[in-house]
A and B are shown apart, each in its own frame.
Chain A
Amino acid sequence: MTITAKDYAEEVVNMTDTICERFIVEHVNHSLMELSVWIYNYGDVDIDVKITNPEIDNDWEKVASGELKKIDITYAISGTEVGINVKSRRDNDVYYRYVVPS
């Protein structure tokens, strides 16, 4: 019984953290082979984020509450714009359209 109550409470806390997550892609720039993405966590909980574009391979990055984190990834940009999809470990998504400066 106690285990069930504890599990339930943990589940509710996790669910609460999921709905409390708030983050944005604040800025993006690129060089020849590198894309830099700044993620700002303006929510109350710490988050783990990852860029989930299929052509981009990267690991989970921890972003503390109130922190602005720069994520550098190896990526050669082709075309005039890139859609960047950032996902948190709790399954929240943020989408950013980066227009490549001419």
Chain B
Amino acid sequence: MCIIDMSCRRRGTSTIYGVMIFIGIMFTAVIPMLLVMNQADTLHEMRKVEVGRLDEERALEDIYFYLALTVVDEAPVLTLKISNRGELAVRIKGVWVNDTLRDDFDCIIPPISNMDLEIGELMVPDPTEPVIYHILAVTDRGNIFSPTCGIPKYDPEFMVWTMDDFVILVTMEKRMHNIHIIVEKLVDPPDPPEILCDEDFPAWFFSYSINVPYVEETTNYQVEVYQFYEQHPSLLVVEVVSLSVLDSSAEVRVPA
């Protein structure tokens, strides 16, 4: 009996020691490990949410821009007219003009607002060769936008800058001849008028498209179409059409 009692007491003591050792291991190793793992998982989840939000913001960037070329001291100066239609502020970090990056500006466009960004003078490497300018705007969220109004080109033959995406189409309802078309840009003030087309079409023809160099915002054009009978002009149609950066073509139909 005495031996059994001693054994039970020893067993009880061992159990207590065992539990204490187990609790010691739990507190010194397992719980810190679980805490570190849990902290790492929390950090991972937080970064995942943060990255998801950044991706969402990137997808929400919504800007459009068009180009305005003005000639200052015979040098073409390029201005980007940027409109931010999104709900987030957009920072333009750089503008590529062909292979040249222009980033010496800090342009932050607040949501639902417009801004003009002057890029500076466009260089014509060889004035005898036609040059096409590919222009791209890059935001700091990694989006790349191209202009909505086409690509500016330098035409050395006429020494003019054009963006041939803007077109007024004059269409006859049937083939006609001895036609004269006048297209005039309506400017404010109206003097001097800018005539884009003043041309005779003696042969039979059906339609004619007039390229407009470039437009800013919304520009109105007056289109007059005459037909000559024995040298006397007869007005067939006079119509005012609008071109804008979002609507780059217009049609004038001439009734038969």
Contact = CB atoms under 8 A, between A and B. Distances in A.
12 contacts: A1-B29, A1-B30, A9-B37, A13-B40, A16-B47, A22-B51, A23-B142, A27-B101, A29-B99, A40-B142, A42-B142, A44-B51
Contact of B32 (A5, A22, A26): A5
Contacts of B96: 26-27
B195 interface: no
Interface string A18-53: 011011101101000000001010101000000000
A6 B47 CA distance: 19
Interface string A80-96: 00000000000000000
Interface residues of B, dominant DSSP: helix
Interface string B117-160: 00000000000000000001010111010000000000000000
B40 A19 contact: no
Contacts of A9: 36-37, 39-40
Interface residues of A, number: 25
A46 to B, nearest CB: 15
B37 A8 contact: yes
Contacts of B141: 42
A44 B99 CA distance: 27
B115 interface: no
Counting from the closest, the 4 A-B pairs by CB-CB distance are: A42-B142, A5-B33, A12-B40, A1-B29
A24 to B, nearest CB: 5
Given A16-B43, A20-B47, A8 B36 contact: yes
Question: Which interface residue of A6, A12, A20, A66 has the most chain B CB atoms within 10 A?
Answer: A12
A40 B138 contact: yes
B48 interface: yes
B144 A26 contact: yes
A78 interface: no
Contacts of B54: 22
A15 interface: yes
Interface in B46-92: 47-48, 51, 54
A44 B141 CA distance: 11
B40 to A, nearest CB: 4
A42 B140 contact: yes
Given A12-B40, A27-B99, A20 B51 contact: yes
A1 B30 CA distance: 7
